C-alpha cells in the first residue's frame, strides 16, 4: 500500500478507530452503569424487540449503502434517487413494523413488547433519511466527519438513558437511548454531508444499484437470521431472565467489537473497491487487513475470554456472574469470526454478492446445527455452539472464495495460524495469572495482573522472525495512519 489512497485509508482508519475508542469507553460506561440500574428482564425485553427491528433494518438499507460506495461512478441524480428510495423503504417499514407489534405481543405473551416495538418503528424513518448521507461521507473518505457524528450520538444517547434509568423508567431508558442515537446520527450526517436531495429524476437509472443491493439484502438477511437464532432459542426455551444474562454477555463482547469493526469496514470497502484492478496491491491490502484485525483485536479478545469472571464482576456486578462462561465463549467466537471478516470485504468490493449469498446459506446451515445442538445443554450450550460455528465455517470461507477470484490463500492461512498461536498463548498466560491473583485480590487487580501477563506472553513471540515481520507490517501501517501528507 503506497500513495495517496493508502494514506487516505490509513488516515481514515486513524480517525475512525480513535472515535470508536471513545465510543467503546462510552459503551463500557453505559454497560457498567445501566446494568446496575436495570434488570436482566429489561435487557431481555429489548433483545426480543431488537430481533424484530433488526430484521427490518436490513430491508431498510436494501444494500444501497454498499452499492453506492462500490460504484465506480455516482451521478447527482442517482444519489438523489437512492435517497428517496431509502426514505420510502424506511417509511414503509415503519408502518409495517408498527402493526407487527400486535402479533409479536401475542406470540411472545409479553404485553410490554407492543409499545416498545411501536416506538422503535420510528428508527426506520430516521435511518432511512440518513442512509445516503452517510454513504456520501464514506464514498468521499470523510471518516473524520462520520467519527464526529457517531461520538455525538453516543454521548447524547447515554446522557438521556442514565437519568431515565435513575428515574425508574426501566426498559424505556433503553428505548429512548436507541431513538436518540438514531435521531442525532441522522441530523449530523445530513449537516456534514453538505448536500440536499432534489426531487427524483427519472432519467437517472439506479437499476444496477438495486440489483447489487438485492443480492446483498438476501445475504444480510440470511446472516441476520443466523445471528438472531440464538436469541430466539434462549428466549423461547429459557425465558427473559436467562435471555437478559445471555444478551448482556453478548453485548459486552460484541458491541465494542462491532464499534471497532464497523469503521474498519467503512474504510476497507471503498478502498478495496478502488484497488480491485491492481491484483498485487489488492492482495497486500487483504493480507495486511487480516493481520490488523487478527492481532489488533484478537489478542484483546483472547485475554477477555481468559478473564471473563472478573470482567463480569467489574462491568456488570455480582448478580450477573452466571454470565461469565457465556462471555468467555462469545469472546472466542468473536476472535474466530474476526479473522474471517476479510472474506466479506473481498466479496463486496468485487461485486460478488450473488456468490456471497450462496456461501452464506452454507455457513448459516452450519451455525443452525451448532446452535440447536447446543441448546440441549442450556444457555451455556447455545453460547458454545455460537463459538464452534465460525471455527467450522472459516476454512470453508477461504476455499470457497479462492474458487471465485484470485486470493493469497496460503498467506491468509499462515497468517491466521500465527494469529491464533499468539492469542492462545496470551489467553493461557492471562488465565493462569488471573487464577493466581484470585486468592485475595479484588477483581480489578485480577484484570490488571491477568491483562499484563497476556500481553507479555503475546510480546514473547517477537523473538521469532516471522512474528517480527508481522509486527513490522503493523508498525508500518500505524505510521501511515499518522501521516497527514496528501
Rounded to an integer, the average pLDDT of 227-231 is 78
How far lies 207's CA from each of 210, 248, 299, in Å?
5, 41, 43
The answer for residues whose C-beta is within 8 angstroms of residue 419's C-beta and 6 or more apart is 290, 291, 294, 295, 298, 339
The answer for residues whose C-beta is within 8 angstroms of residue 206's C-beta and 6 or more apart is 78, 81, 82, 85
Instruction: Record the cell numbers describing residue 62, joined without a space.
Output: 436494501
CA dihedral defined by 80, 82, 84, 89, rounded to 10 degrees? -170
Which of 66, 58, 65 is closest to 349 using CA atoms? 66
Least confident of 18-27, 93-102, 333-342: 18-27
Q: What is the CA radius of gyration of the chain?
A: 22
pLDDT above 50 (res 232): yes
| Band (63; pLDDT cuts 50, 70, 90) | low
d(C-alpha 212, C-alpha 356), whole Å: 12
Higher pLDDT pick, 62 / 149:
149
pLDDT tens digits, residue range 98-129?
Answer: 998 898 888 878 888 899 999 999 998 998 88
Rounded to an integer, the average pLDDT of 128-149 is 77
| Band (155; pLDDT cuts 50, 70, 90) | confident
pLDDT tens digits, residue range 290-313?
Answer: 888 888 888 999 999 999 889 888
The answer for residues whose C-beta is within 8 angstroms of residue 32's C-beta and 6 or more apart is 314, 315, 316
How far apart are the two ends of the chain, measured CA to CA in Å?
14
Q: What is the pLDDT of residue 145?
A: 79
pLDDT tens digits, residue range 309-363?
Answer: 898 888 887 778 888 899 999 999 988 888 877 777 777 777 777 777 788 788 8
Q: What is the pLDDT of residue 304?
A: 92
Contacts 24+ apart (CB under 8 A), 476-480: 477/1, 477/10, 477/288, 477/292, 480/1, 480/6, 480/7, 480/10, 480/11
Q: What is the pTM of this model?
A: 0.66
d(C-alpha 457, C-alpha 453), whole Å: 6
Amino acid at each position: 500500500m503506497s500513495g495517496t489512497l493508502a494514506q487516505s485509508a490509513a488516515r481514515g482508519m486513524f480517525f475512525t478507530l480513535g472515535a470508536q475508542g471513545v465510543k467503546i469507553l462510552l459503551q463500557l460506561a453505559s454497560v457498567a452503569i445501566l446494568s446496575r440500574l436495570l434488570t436482566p428482564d429489561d435487557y431481555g425485553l429489548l433483545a426480543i424487540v431488537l430481533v424484530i427491528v433488526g430484521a427490518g433494518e436490513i430491508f431498510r438499507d436494501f444494500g444501497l449503502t454498499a452499492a453506492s460506495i462500490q460504484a465506480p461512478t455516482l451521478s447527482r441524480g442517482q444519489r438523489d434517487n437512492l435517497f428517496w428510495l431509502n426514505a420510502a423503504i424506511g417509511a414503509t417499514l415503519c408502518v409495517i413494523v408498527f402493526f407487527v407489534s400486535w402479533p409479536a405481543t401475542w406470540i411472545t405473551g409479553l404485553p410490554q413488547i407492543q409499545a416498545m416495538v411501536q416506538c422503535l418503528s420510528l428508527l426506520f424513518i430516521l435511518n432511512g433519511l440518513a442512509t445516503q448521507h452517510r454513504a456520501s461521507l464514506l464514498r468521499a473518505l470523510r471518516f473524520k466527519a462520520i467519527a464526529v457524528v457517531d461520538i455525538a450520538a453516543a454521548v447524547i444517547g447515554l446522557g438521556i438513558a442514565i437519568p431515565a434509568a435513575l428515574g425508574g423508567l426501566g426498559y424505556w431508558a433503553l428505548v429512548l437511548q436507541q431513538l436518540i442515537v438514531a435521531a442525532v446520527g441522522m441530523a449530523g450526517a445530513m449537516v456534514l454531508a453538505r448536500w440536499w436531495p432534489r426531487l427524483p429524476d427519472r432519467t437517472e437509472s439506479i437499476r444496477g444499484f438495486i440489483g447489487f443491493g438485492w443480492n446483498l439484502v438476501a445475504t444480510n438477511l440470511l446472516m441476520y437470521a443466523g445471528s438472531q437464532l440464538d436469541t430466539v432459542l434462549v428466549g423461547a426455551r429459557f425465558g427473559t431472565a436467562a435471555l437478559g444474562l445471555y444478551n448482556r454477555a453478548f453485548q459486552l463482547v460484541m458491541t465494542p467489537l462491532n464499534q471497532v469493526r464497523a469503521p474498519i469496514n467503512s474504510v476497507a470497502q471503498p478502498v478495496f473497491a478502488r484497488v480491485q484492478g491492481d491484483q498485487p496491491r489488492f492482495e497486500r491490502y487483504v493480507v495486511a487487513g487480516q493481520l490488523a484485525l487478527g492481532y489488533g483485536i484478537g489478542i484483546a479478545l483472547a485475554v477477555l475470554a481468559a478473564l471473563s469472571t472478573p470482567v463480569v464482576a467489574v462491568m456488570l456486578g455480582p448478580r450477573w456472574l452466571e454470565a461469565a462462561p457465556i462471555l468467555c465463549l462469545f469472546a472466542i467466537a468473536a476472535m474466530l469470526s474476526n479473522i474471517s471478516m476479510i472474506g466479506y470485504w473481498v466479496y463486496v468490493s468485487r461485486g460478488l454478492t450473488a456468490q456471497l449469498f450462496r456461501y452464506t446459506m452454507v455457513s448459516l446451515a452450519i451455525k443452525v446445527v451448532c446452535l440447536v445442538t447446543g441448546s440441549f445443554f442450556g444457555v451455556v450450550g447455545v453460547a458454545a455452539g455460537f463459538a464452534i460455528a465460525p471455527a467450522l465455517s472459516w476454512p470453508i470461507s477461504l476455499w470457497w472464495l479462492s474458487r471465485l477470484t484470485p486470493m493469497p490463500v496460503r498467506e491468509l492461512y499462515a497468517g491466521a495460524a500465527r494469529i491464533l498461536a499468539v492469542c492462545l498463548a496470551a489467553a493461557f498466560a492471562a488465565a493462569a495469572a488471573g487464577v493466581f491473583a484470585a486468592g485475595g485480590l479484588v477483581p480489578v487487580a485480577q484484570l490488571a495482573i491477568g491483562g499484563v501477563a497476556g500481553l507479555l506472553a503475546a510480546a514473547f513471540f517477537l523473538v521469532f522472525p516471522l512474528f517480527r515481520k508481522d509486527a513490522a507490517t503493523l508498525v508500518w501501517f500505524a505510521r501511515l495512519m499518522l501521516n497527514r501528507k496528501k
